[in-house]
Chains A and B, each alone.
Chain A
């Protein structure tokens, strides 16, 4: 298996699993928002969290932007409400659930993991694994039942008369080194030296 492929698979798969973490959400509770679950925030941290949570909410008016980015009055009001709730200590999921109660799942810009929504988070991972398998398959060592070299040699010798065989080298040492390099590239022979004829495959 190709090491590069594995490394990249790992590089991608691990963060993917961790990412969906942030979007995990239980189904919508029936009652109104309960007590705050986290510590109250203030100052620079409050600003930063307001931006962060605002970026996860869709502005209902100019629907292409998040509440954090939109200048619409409605978005500014929503952002103020987010800020107020964060200051009281509600956590991100409670705030998102609060707006979802009023506007529906549509208002969440990051798909919460429930029901068929799993597909959108796992789909890319599945595609990566499937694709990685195909790539590994394409890069696998050639199958054992390829034409044995002896036959290949004869075919080539028959079709290209007048040329020296593939295991001779020219006299000039620099030229010989170049010919060996060329053979290693062309035939895949390590160091350009033809392998001994393998014993008949068991």
Chain B
């Protein structure tokens, strides 16, 4: 009963999406009220059907209905309820079903928000969105069926991958990732609509920017959550390994950030329209490439799902999307006529372009490194690796350069700057920069790149802070308000700007924290017997004893470590070494003690209960906690920049006559 219901819902969703896509494109080419109304209805129907399908699957998971194919694959009676709930997105077919849910939700919101606005664009946008929705519905109806009926349902199932049951982060990392990833479909549709209509005015750039910013916030948090998960759960002491699947999530983030900045130039000056559209389209295409990289099994990754039939299917969709985008851009990009001109010479415009250049360069580098083993195998027939050392080496100068541009850009004025203005804008932050670099040197920083990161970090922090305070100072001067009043007023009126600088502040912190934590840490690997003590820096760690802990999904040996810092006791940490069912290699779960300045990280390399010896890896990682805090700051800044847009007054204008292309053209 449940599998049949699920399959029916998916088929209906496929129908709704396909029909809606056709209606959308037809209405775009030949506008009509009825066409638009139907396109909207089909969009809402698709969203509702996907939601119902997901609810059905959750019902099946929670009631352990093993007649449903996916539940038989990942369900289990012996796992806690929350694990059953999150099993929806733990494996292949379920994660695509979840993708459909998120996509439906985004399409519904985007359609409903703009149901009375942009009548020339919206049908095209809905057409593109529902075409993507149709593809994913097709995947669910065909190659990746979660609701396949199991002929002889088993009494119990194996449960989801035990590694995924390890940490509660599993609850939020995938939903955030999907909210970011899938959300990029919306600006893609809007950009395609702009190209199809042949116009990208500063009115339409606004929803494009908002629907780029919202998924961006989710994606930023999701990427860092993934890093946090790796750090807290995997035990090697790092948070980013440049694994192909990690890169898959990072690539669209890079182009989306570039697009957010060039969209600002579109809004302000009416330039770089075609370029912004290209970046937005590239972001979407990278999400599809990313999902191909994760699911096809072509790339050597620790995260990849096993190779399945859907690899070729996704590749076909990627090819179709790439060809569609190329055709659209080749034929229509020249219709996006610029309304102004870029400022020549050193100015903020130049800084925006350099920023875009650096982000696109970063994207290219990461993409090249990730696919390069495939290239070499095709050309030389040799299997080789492009791993962490390569990516670390190349991303450091790019990151530092970005830190620099983030400081120089806002310091420069919008128009042509005179030498005097340049001097006044750029010299004071140099003092803060030097101070921070000297402070770092005094604290022991000897790595040149870290010192440079501190220098530029100080520079950019000063610029960002003064930009945040600029309207406050102006209001205090011209309106005579107090600091608090001026701040509140400035924040209310210039929330986008304020939010943007908060994001920058967070970004400075992230880059500096990454620089410091990568180069200023200390490590030690030592074999300890029960009762023995070791020390690293100000910490002393005593291995007290080890015991065995048996849980449903894993069998662990747990070490008890007493920790002291400068003589004062900090309590006990329990790193463990576990054998998960269905995994051959033992997996260590570290114990991490986070403080504002540094983390003490204990990870077991090998442990023997009989002889009560442990091979322990002790790490002192400075400033790692700041990475997580700074990401929260970035997300907060993004939300601040987003908020006023949603509260904008919507004026409902109902036109008595249907809009035809002639009258729409005349409104130019």
Contacts and interface: CB of A to CB of B under 8 A. Distances in A.
Indicate if A touches B (C-beta under 8 A).
yes
Nearest to B414: A185
Q: Which of A58, A62, A119, A128 has the most CB of B within 10 A?
A: A128
B416 interface: yes
Contacts of A117: 376, 384
Number of contact residues on A: which range applies?
Answer: 35 or more
Interface string B348-368: 011101100110110011001
Given A63-B300, A139-B342, A104 B383 contact: yes
Interface stretch (A8-16, A30-38, A150-158, A162-170): A8-16
Contacts of A124: 361, 364-365, 368, 394
A23 B385 CA distance: 13
A97 interface: no
Contacts of B354: 2, 4-5, 8, 135
Nearest to A187: B415
B369 interface: yes
Contacts of B236: 65, 69-71
A64 interface: yes
Contacts, number: 162
A185 B368 contact: no
A72 B234 CA distance: 13
A135 B353 contact: yes
Given A62-B585, A120-B368, A131-B360, A188 B387 contact: no
A142 interface: yes
Interface in A23-66: 23, 51, 55-56, 58, 61-66
Interface stretch (B237-245, B468-476, B480-488): B237-245
Contacts of A4: 346, 350-351, 354, 405, 408
Considering residues A62, A69, A120, A131, which has the most beta carbons from chain B within 10 angstroms of its beta carbon?
Answer: A120
A123 interface: yes
Q: What range describes how many residues of B lie at the interface?
A: 35 or more
A71 B241 contact: no
Given A69-B238, A76-B606, A120-B390, A127 B361 contact: yes
A200 interface: no
A145 to B, nearest CB: 15
Interface string A95-110: 0000000001111111
Contacts of A3: 346
A121 B605 CA distance: 34
Interface in B327-349: 341-346, 349
A132 B405 CA distance: 14
A194 interface: no
B290 to A, nearest CB: 17
A140 interface: yes
Contacts of A128: 357, 361
Main secondary structure of the interface of A (DSSP, over half): helix
Nearest to A140: B344
Contacts of A134: 357
A64 B243 contact: yes
B397 A15 contact: yes
B537 interface: no
Nearest to A112: B384
A55 B152 CA distance: 49
B390 A138 contact: no
Contacts of B385: 58, 105-109, 111
A105 to B, nearest CB: 4
Contact of B387 (A16, A61, A110, A190): A110
30 contacts: A2-B350, A3-B346, A12-B398, A23-B390, A58-B387, A63-B302, A64-B302, A65-B236, A69-B238, A71-B577, A71-B603, A71-B604, A105-B382, A107-B385, A109-B385, A109-B390, A110-B387, A111-B372, A111-B376, A119-B372, A120-B368, A120-B390, A123-B365, A123-B368, A124-B364, A124-B368, A131-B357, A132-B357, A139-B344, A140-B344
Interface of A: 2-5, 8, 11-12, 15-16, 19, 23, 51, 55-56, 58, 61-66, 69-73, 76, 104-111, 115-117, 119-120, 123-124, 127-128, 131-132, 134-135, 138-142, 184-185, 188, 190
